[in-house]
């Protein structure tokens, strides 16, 4: 018997366990493979804010999460002695066309109004070019470049290691790798594992990425739409002599992210149709060619890793968070898609708060589990 069972050892599940520990909940986290075996164990680590215009509760929630993540990580790094590879490095967005500069200038004013946290102001500067030679190359900035000071990056695997190390030292949390959930009885509060064991729980959080959708779909009526889908992503790591303090480059879906130890991550593809979720192919090679065109400094940089994996996209597109509308003991924490690393700590806090009786009034309605399930019902 445990107060809380967490299914999934990715970024969502680990943060849920950290927040559960702080709430004093006896917790078991099960992972069918190993920590970070899914999408969370990728290589990119982009912490990108939404655009500063058309401000709403969703953008405010993400902004607050990105700001608070810095303190959260610093505390865990101090406690574990490990590095998560976090840096608020900022982001460069090349503006190859004149109309993009016009739009960017409007956003510059939007950021002044909306990107403020207490006495901290984050900026969206529009400049004629980058002050960093070759980062990116001049042609990409034919109409200028944006420097945003809110964005950042984290080493995904380093972040997972920090969280897992902290939890391994906890008297309240047990992490069991190589243990697969076969079936779930959310009414009785029982989980049946592949090794034959049954676990009883007071509350359960499904935080297993794309695998959460399959489990949720078994609880739905036959005529319901799937609660979410898998989107394949491909990325790569290059070895290059690039200053790790350089800003992230983002251009029309292309990310170029300098990490520590002379590594640069390139990403990412988004594929709704695929035959092999784990293999890389010509789509990644095309992305690498594009990155080298935007940043010639990477032209001769060797590829040291190619990665592919499945990211969870919930039916409502936003993260799927909170209590299942039909089962009091079942909670969901998945669907982060591309923004999980910037939001996971804050989403986990919301779910744990709900379990112990606190209502998170800041959580956007479109994130709530009940909202996603309303979309899954066929009329």
- Report the SS3 class of residue 18: helix
The answer for 211, left when phi > 0, alpha when psi is -120 to 50, beta otherwise, is: alpha
CATH classification of 2-42+157-228+315-376 is 3.50.50.60, yes or no?
A: yes
Residues of the chain within CATH 3.30.9.10 domain(s) are 87-151+230-314
Given a cut of 90, whether residue 220 has pLDDT beyond it is no
| Structure confidence by residue, pLDDT tens digits, 60-101 | 999 999 999 999 999 999 999 999 999 999 999 999 999 999
pLDDT value of position 263: 98
- The band of 223, judged by pLDDT with boundaries at 50, 70 and 90, is confident
Q: What is the pLDDT of residue 281?
A: 97
Whether 118 shows a pLDDT value over 70: the answer reads yes
CATH fold of the domain at 87-151+230-314 = D-Amino Acid Oxidase; Chain A, domain 2 (3.30.9)
Residue 318: which of 61, 78, 90, 134 has the closest Cα?
Answer: 61
- Start-end of H helices in the chain: 11-22, 57-80, 98-114, 156-168, 210-217, 282-294, 340-355, 369-376
Rg of the Cα atoms in the chain? 21
Residue 346, pLDDT above cutoff 70: yes
CATH 3.50.50.60 residue spans of the chain: 2-42+157-228+315-376
């Amino acid at each position: 018997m445990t107060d809380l069972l967490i299914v999934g050892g990715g970024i969502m599940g680990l943060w849920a366990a950290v927040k559960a520990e702080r709430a004093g909940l006896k917790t078991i986290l099960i992972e069918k493979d190993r920590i970070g075996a899914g999408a969370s164990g990728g290589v990119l680590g982009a912490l990108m804010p939404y655009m500063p215009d058309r401000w709403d509760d969703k953008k405010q929630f993400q902004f607050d999460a990105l700001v608070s993540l810095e303190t959260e990580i610093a505390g865990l790094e101090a406690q574990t002695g490990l590095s998560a590879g976090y840096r608020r490095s900022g982001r460069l967005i090349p503006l190859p066309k004149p109309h993009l500069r016009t739009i960017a200038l409007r956003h510059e004013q939007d950021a002044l109004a909306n990107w403020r946290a207490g006495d901290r102001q984050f900026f969206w500067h529009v400049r004629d070019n980058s002050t960093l030679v070759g980062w990116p190359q001049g042609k990409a900035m034919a109409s200028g470049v944006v420097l945003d000071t809110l964005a950042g990056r984290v080493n995904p695997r380093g972040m997972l290691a920090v969280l897992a190390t902290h939890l391994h030292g906890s008297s309240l949390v047990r992490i069991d790798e190589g243990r697969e959930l076969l079936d779930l009885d959310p009414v009785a509060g029982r989980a049946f594992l592949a090794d034959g064991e049954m676990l009883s729980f007071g509350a359960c959080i499904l935080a297993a990425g794309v695998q959460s959708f399959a489990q949720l779909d078994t609880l739905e009526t036959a005529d319901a739409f799937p609660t979410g889908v898998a989107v394949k992503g491909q990325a790569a790591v290059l070895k290059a002599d690039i200053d790790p303090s350089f800003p992230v480059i983002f251009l029309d879906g292309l990310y170029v992210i300098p990490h520590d130890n002379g590594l640069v991550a390139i990403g990412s593809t988004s594929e709704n149709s695929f035959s092999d979720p784990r293999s890389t192919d010509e789509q990644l090679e095309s992305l690498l060619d594009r990155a080298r065109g935007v940043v010639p400094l990477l032209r001769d940089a060797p590829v040291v890793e190619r990665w592919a994996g499945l990211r969870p996209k919930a039916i409502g597109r936003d993260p799927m968070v909170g209590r299942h509308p039909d089962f009091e003991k079942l909670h969901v924490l998945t669907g982060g898609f591309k923004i999980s690393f910037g939001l996971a700590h804050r989403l986990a806090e919301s779910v744990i708060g709900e379990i112990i009786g606190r209502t998170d009034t800041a959580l956007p309605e479109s994130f709530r589990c009940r909202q996603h399930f309303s979309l899954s019902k066929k009329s």
